[in-house]
Structure 1
Amino acid sequence: MKLYFKNQLGLMAAAIMLVCCFTQTNAQVVSSGAVNGKKLNPLLPGYFADPTIKKFGDTYYIYATTDNIMLASGAPTVWYSKDFENWYNYKMDVPAFTAESLVNFWAPDIIQRNNKYYLYFGNCEMGCNIYGYVSDTPVGPWRKLNAHDKPVISHNYPREGFPSLDAQFFTDTDNRVYGYWGTWVHYNGGYAVGELITPGMDSMQKAKNIPLVQTPKPFEAPYMIKKGNKYILMYSGGSCHDETYNVRYSYASTPYGPFKEGANNPVLSTNADKTVHGPGHHSVLQDGDDYYIVYHKHDYPMTRGGLSRQVCIDKLVFENDSTIKAVVPANTGYINPSKVKPPQNIALNATATASSAYHLKMPGTDYEYAAALATDGNNATLWKAGNNTLPQSLTIDLGSVKRIRRVFTQFEFPSFYYQYVLRYSADGKTWKLFADRASNRMPGSPMIDDNDVKTRYIKLTVTGTEKQGLYAAVWNMKVYDKLFDIPLPIKNKNSVSAPALRSGHNILLDINAADMPAGKPFASVKNKGTFGGLMYKTGNVTIEKDETGVTAFRFTKGALSALKPVPQTLAWNGAYTVAAWVKAPVVAKEGSCLMSWCNRNVMRLANSYNAMYFNSGGYGAAGHLDYHFDMKYNHVPAANEWHYLVLTFDGMTERIYVDGVEDNAQMMTLSSAINGAKFIIGASDEGENYNGYMASLKMYDYALSSSDIKKQLQLTKPMK
C-alpha cells in the first residue's frame, strides 16, 4: 500500500529509510542459556535498533531507536548496566516539539563534554532533521540546545535534498568534534561530514558530501572511529530490507578523507545459518584495549516489516590500524567486558509452566513461545500467552524450597506498563502474595519486586496492559536469594494512560443486504451488531439483485459510514475479524477498499493504519501504509464470482482467508490509529472505492479461528 504523507515528503523519506524488512525465512533453532560460558546475544530484552553504546564512569549505557511501534517510533529510552548482563531501561524526559510527546526518536547518539551530556537524534515531524539536547546526567532530564526547535543538522544540508538522519559524532584527539550522517546515500550522493561548532554544540560548519566512490556499496548509518593515525569510517551497506544488510568500512588520514575501501568487506553480515539475519547500524565500544561492535539484527520468528530488531554485540578485532577482521556473528558468543560479577539468578533454566503459550504456524515457521523460554536467560526468546485475553499466568518451579528476596520480570515491551500479581507457594497448592502490582502504571524493564520468603514456586499473573491487545509476554523472569545495588537511583514515571479495555468478544458490525428491499432508495442501513447505530450512505450505493438473484449492496464510488467513532477495543494491537461476501465484476489492480476503521490523518506511520482490500496488488488483502507491511493475496480471488473473504488479526498474526481456506499470513504488531476514525464500508478514509457487490459484512473485536470461519462460510452464504 502507498505511503499517504501528502506534503510531508521528509517524513515519507524517513519512513522508507527506516523500514528494515524482508520475506519470512525458514524456521531456525534458537538455543537457550549460556553456551561454553559465553552469554547469549541479543544483549537487551526488547525490540531496539540503531544502538549507540557508551561507558561513562563505571556504567555502560545504550541509546537506541525503540522498535516495533509505528515505524520504530517508540518512546526515547536508555538502557544502563554495570555488569553488562542485567540491563535497566529508563524512559527519558525529552521535551517534544508540537505534539505532547516525540513521534520519532531515531538513531540517537550522545557526547560527554565539559561535564555535560549532549544527546542527538533524528526526527521527521518537521522535515528530517537532527536535533540536540543537553543534560547534567547521561539519562536526563534533557533541555533543548536551540530555541524554536532549530535543528543542529537541517534537512537539505550540506546540499538540497539531502536527508539529515543517522548522525553520529566523533571527538578527535585534538578535541574537535565531527559529525557523519546520511541514509539512502546511494541515491543521495554519499555520506555527509561536518564539524560541530564548540562550545555551543548546537550547529555545524564546513560540511560536505563524501564521494560515493570512497565508500563502496553504502546505504546508511555512518560511524567514525580512530585507530592510531587512521580514521575508519564504518557504515551499513546492502539493503535493510533483507539479509544483505551489512557493515562495511573505508579509511583515511583525515576526518574528511579521501577514504579508501578497507579489506575484508563486509566485516559484519548475515551468518551462514541465518540465526543472525540482517546485522547492521552499529556503534563501537572501546573498553581498555578491547573493541566491541554493537549492532541490531532482525528478530526471530520474524515480525513482518523487520522492525522488531534486537541489539547484539560481538568482538571487533583489528589486524592493523587500517584493517578490520571480519566478524563472525552468532547467537552464542559475546565476551562480557565488565569486571563486575552479576548476581546469581537461581531461576535460570528452572522448570516453567503457563496458562497458555502461543503457537505460531505459518508457511516456513512452526514455533512455540513456550513457558520454558522465560527462564532460559536468553533475550532472543520469550514466553507469550496463547492469546491476548487476560489474565494469563506463568509459574516457575525452583525445584526445592529456597529463600527469595528479589524477582526481576522483563516484559515484552519495556516502555509500556503491565499490571500483574506475584504469588509464592511451597507446595504449589497454597499461594500467598509476594507483590501486588495489579494497579501498576509504571513502565520499565526489569520490573523489580522485593520480599523475603521461603518458597519453591513463583507465579506471575498478568492482569492488565497499558496498550490494547498486548499479550502477556516475558523475555525472562529472574529470581535472586539476595538483594543487591541497582546501578542508578532512578525510577520511571507513572503513565497517565488508563489500562487497555478488554475485548467483549462481540460482533461489532452486522450488515446484510437481504434485510433491505431491492430496488428501493435508502439513506441508511441498520447495524445489527453490538456497536449499534446506522450506517449512512454517501455516494452511489444501491441495493440490487445480481444476475444470479442474490440481493446485495452495489457500490459504485459510494460507501456506508458510521457516525460514531470506532471503539477503543480496536485501538493499538486490538484483535479483529472482518468477514464479507463480495463479488467484483473486475478485480482492481489497486485501491478497492472493502472496509477501513483507522484515521490516516492521526498518525501517518506504517502499522498505524489498517484496512481490508480486494485488489491484485501488494496490499490486495490488507493495507498498513507501507508495502513492506501490507499483505497481498497469494491467489487473487476470481472476478465476477461470489467469495467469502475474511481478514483476521489475533494481536500476533494477520491472516486472509478466501472461501474458508487460508491464503496468506504474516506476523505483525500493530499500533492502530483509531482516534477520530469511523467505520467505512466500501471505501477507505481517503477514497479508494470498492466497485462491486457486497451481500453482507461482519466485523468482530476478536479473531475467528479457521474452524469458526468454515462454519460461518456455510451459515452466512448469500441466498438467491
Structure 2
Amino acid sequence: MMKIKSGFLHVALTLCTTTLFAQPARTYTNPLPVEFGDPYVLQTKGGRYYMYGTGAGAKNGFAAYSSSDLVNWKDEGQVYYASNKNGWSDSTAAWNGAYWAPEVYEHNGRFYMFYSAQWKVNPGKDLENFKIGVAISDRPTGPFIDLHNKPVFDPGYPVIDANVLFDKSGKMYLYYSRCCYKHAVESEVATWAKQKGWFDFIEESWVYGVELKPDFSGVIGEPVLLLRPPVKMSDKQADWESRSVTSKEVNRRWTEGSVAFKKGNTYYMMYSANYFGGKNYAVGYATAKSPLGPFTKAANNPVLQKNVEQGGVVTGTGHNSITYSPNGKEMLCVYHARTSATGDQRVVFIDRMRILKDGKLVVDGPKTTPQALPGGVK
C-alpha cells in the first residue's frame, strides 16, 4: 500500500511541477522594471520591440531596452553618445546637456532617432537652449550618429519633445513643444495667481507642428501652433491643465510630450499637462481632420492621471507613446509615472487604450494589479 501511495504522490508532484514550468505566468504587473522617463516604444518590421527614454543610467546620451513581449525587457546599454563625430550639443550645460525624450523610427531600412538637448551655439547664454536633433543608425541598438552637426532647425526659442508623424500622403510632420522658458503668457489663471500674491507671471509651453523635409535636414514652411493651455478659467480644460498653478506648485503651465497618430479619417494628438516633476502630470488628447489642425481638445480629458484620490499609489502619469500588441489587435499606452514605492524615480507603465466607436479615446489605467499579457504573446 505504501508503495502505491508513494508512487501516486510522486506522479502527482511530477505532473504539478511540469505544469508549473510548462505554463509561465499569463499576466504582468505595472510598473515594469525600467527606470525611464518619457518612454518611447518602437516595434520594428521584424516584430521586436525597442524602448528608448530619458535616463536609465545613460551619460550624455540615451539607452535602450528590447523585448519580444513588451513585458520582459533586455538592457541594450547606451545606444547614442553626444560625443559622436557630428555631435552638436553641450554636455556641460544645465541638466548635464538635457538629453531628453528620444524617439526612434524605422524608415527606408534605417533607424532615425529624434531627441532634444542643449545646443552649444548659445550667444545669449540662455539657461534653456534646447533644440531638436536627429541621429541615424543601421540598427535599433545603435550606435546612432547625428545626421548633421547642428539641430534640425532653430525656431528662435527652446524646443523639446520631438514626435514625427509619417502620414499616408507621403509627407512627414514634426511636432514639438516650445518651452515655458521666457514665455510669460497672459490668461485668467495668470491674473488670478497674481491677485492671490502667488506668482507675478505664468510661463507656458505650447505644442507646434511643421512639415519635415524628406531627408530630415530641416523643415518646410513655418511652424503652426496646435495646442496651448486654456486662456479662460471657464474653459472645460482649465481645471486639469492648470493644477501646477492652482496648487501653488510652480508658475508654469505645460503642454508637452505630444504624440500624433491617425485612426480612420481622424488625427489624434495626445499631450501632457502640468509639472512633469509633480503629482499632477496628466495626459489629454485632441483631434483634427488634418496633420496641422486645427485640433480640438476632447471633452473626456484627462484620459490618464494620478489615482491616489481613489486609493491608488500612482502619481505623475505622463509623456506617453503608443504601440501595438504582437498580434496587432490591441493599442497600448506606454508612459512614465511614480508610485509610493518608487518615490521620485520615474518608472514605465504599459496599459491598454482604445478608440471607441464614437471616436472617444480611453486609457485603461493607471493599473498596478495583474493584467493579461498583450495579445499575441506566446
Same-fold call, TM cutoff 0.5: yes
Q: How does 1:679-718 map to 2 (within 5 A)?
A: none
Correspondence for 2:341 among 292, 297, 301:
301
The one of 204, 223, 226 equivalent to 1:210 is 226
1:106 to 1:340, Cα distance in 2 relative to 1, 3 A: same
**1:500-519 alignment to 2 at 5 Å?**
none
Structure 1 position 51 matched with structure 2 position 39: yes
Deviation at 1:74, TM superposition (A): 6.2
Residue of structure 2 aligned with 1:236, choices 253, 256, 272: 272
1:323 counterpart = 2:342: no
Classify 1:73/1:93 alpha carbon distance in 2 versus 1 (closer, same or farther; 3 Å). closer
SS of alignment partner, residue 324 of structure 2: strand
Report the alpha carbon displacement of residue 327 of structure 1 after superposing the two structures with TM. 2.9
Higher helix share: 2
What secondary structure does 1:58 align onto?
Answer: coil
Match of 1:119 in 2: 113
Displacement, 1:323? 1.2
CA distance 1:178–1:117, shift in 2 (3 Å): same
CA contact (8 A) 1:266 1:326 kept: no
- 2:322 is the alignment partner of 1:284: yes
Shift of 1:334: 4.3
The answer to whether structure 1 residue 89 and structure 2 residue 75 are counterparts is yes
State the alpha-carbon separation in 2 of the partners of residues 276 and 299 from structure 1: 5
How far has the Cα of 1:238 moved from its partner?
2.6
Q: Report the residue type matching 1:279 in the other structure.
A: T
User: Separation in 1 of the partners of 2:118 and 2:229?
Assistant: 28
Q: Which amino acid aligns with 2:332?
A: Y
AA aligned opposite 1:38: T
Amino acid at match of 2:118: C
The equivalent of 1:60 in structure 2 is 49
Contact 1:168 1:180 in 2 (8 A): yes
Deviation at 1:119, TM superposition (A): 0.6
Residue type at the aligned position of 2:170:
N
Aligned twin of 2:131: 129
Distance 1:322 1:47 in 2: 33
Q: Quickly say closer, same or farther: Cα 1:76–1:135, change in 2 above 3 A.
A: same
Of structures 1 and 2, the one scoring higher in RCO (CA 8 A, sep 6+) is 2
CA contact 1:228–1:321 (8 Å) conserved in 2: no
Any idea what the Cα deviations from partners look like across 1:489-531, whole Å, max 9, x if unmatched?
A: xxxxxxxxxxxxxxxxxxxxxxxxxxxxxxxxxxxxxxxxxxx
Deviations 1:393-420 (A, max 9, x none): xxxxxxxxxxxxxxxxxxxxxxxxxxxx
* Structure 1 position 125, deviation (Å): 4.7
Distance 1:62 1:321 in 2: 31
Give the Å deviation of 1:153.
Answer: 3.5
Structure 1 residue 300: deviation in Å?
3.6
Corresponding position of 1:152: 152
Q: After superposition, where does 1:5-24 map in structure 2 within 5 Å?
A: none
Matched, 1:197 2:219: no
2:165 pairs with one of 141, 166, 170: 170
Q: Deviations over 1:289-334 (max 9, x none)?
A: 320000000144354xx3x200110000111363112533111244
Between the aligned partners of 1:264 and 1:99, the Cα distance in structure 2 is 41
Pairs within 5 Å for 1:523-672: none
Q: Which amino acid aligns with 2:99?
A: F
**Aligned residue number for residue 41 of structure 1:** 30
8 Å CA contact 1:314–1:333 kept in 2: the answer is no
Task: Give CA-to-partner distance per residue, 1:169-195, whole Å, 9 cap, x none.
Answer: 111112211111115567346211011
CA shift digits 1:665-703 (9 cap, x unpaired): xxxxxxxxxxxxxxxxxxxxxxxxxxxxxxxxxxxxxxx
**Cα 1:290–1:203 shift into 2, 3 Å:** same
d(CA) in 2 for partners of 1:188 and 1:73?
A: 29
For the residue of structure 2 that corresponds to 1:278, the secondary structure is strand
CA contact (8 A) 1:315 1:334 kept: no
SS at match of 1:139: coil
Residue in structure 2 matching 1:180, options 170, 175, 200: 175
Q: Which residue is equivalent to 1:645?
A: none
Q: 1:137 to 1:188 in 2, by over 3 A?
A: same
1-structure distance, mates of 2:168, 2:28: 34
Amino acid at match of 1:39: Y
Structure 1, gaps ≥5 residues long: 1-35, 342-720
SS of equivalent to 1:277: strand
Q: Given the superposition, is the C-alpha separation of residues 197 and 335 from structure 1 closer, same or farther in structure 2, using an over 3 Å criterion?
A: farther
CA distance in 1, matches of 2:179, 2:82: 28
- Superposition pairs of residues 240-389 of structure 1, within 5 angstroms: 240-271=276-307, 272-287=310-325, 288-303=328-343, 306=344, 308-320=345-357, 322-337=359-374, 339-341=376-378
1:94 positional shift: 3.1
CA contact (8 A) 2:228 2:255 kept: no
- Cα deviation for residue 77 of structure 1 reads 0.7
Aligned residue type for 1:82: S
Matched residue of 2:81: which SS?
coil
C-alpha distance in 1, partners of 2:26/2:139?
34
CA distance 1:165–1:115, change in 2 (3 Å) = same
Distance 1:81 1:302 in 2: 23
Aligned position for 1:511 = none
What letter matches 1:291 in structure 2? M
AA aligned to 2:337 is: K
Matches within 5 A, 1:472-483: none
| Per-residue CA distance 1:135-161 (angstroms, 9 max, x = gap) | 111111222211xx210143xx1xx43
**Alignment match, 2:145:** 143
Shift of 1:241: 3.5
Structure 1 residues 188 and 153: CA distance shift in structure 2, 3 A: farther
Alpha-carbon deviation of 1:85? Answer: 2.9
CA contact (8 A) 2:37 2:53 kept: yes
Task: Give the count of matched residue pairs.
Answer: 291
Could you tell me which runs of 5 or more consecutive residues in structure 2 were left unpaired when the two chains were aligned.
Answer: 1-24, 121-128, 186-202, 231-236, 242-253
Relative distance call for 1:46 and 1:189 in structure 2 (3 A) is closer
Aligned match for 1:78, one of 34, 49, 64: 64
Cα drift, residue 164 of structure 1: 1.0
8 Å contact from structure 2 (residues 338, 346) kept in 1: yes
How far apart, CA to CA, are the structure 2 residues paired with 1:46 and 1:211?
30
3-state SS of paired residue (1:182): strand
Contact (CA 8 Å) 1:315, 1:335: kept in 2 or not?
Answer: no
Shift of 1:276: 1.6
DSSP 3-state at the match of 1:80: strand
CA distance in 1, matches of 2:298, 2:171: 25
Per the TM alignment, residue 212 of structure 1 is displaced from its structure 2 partner at its CA by: 2.5
What is the distance in 1 between the residues matched to 2:321 and 2:355?
15
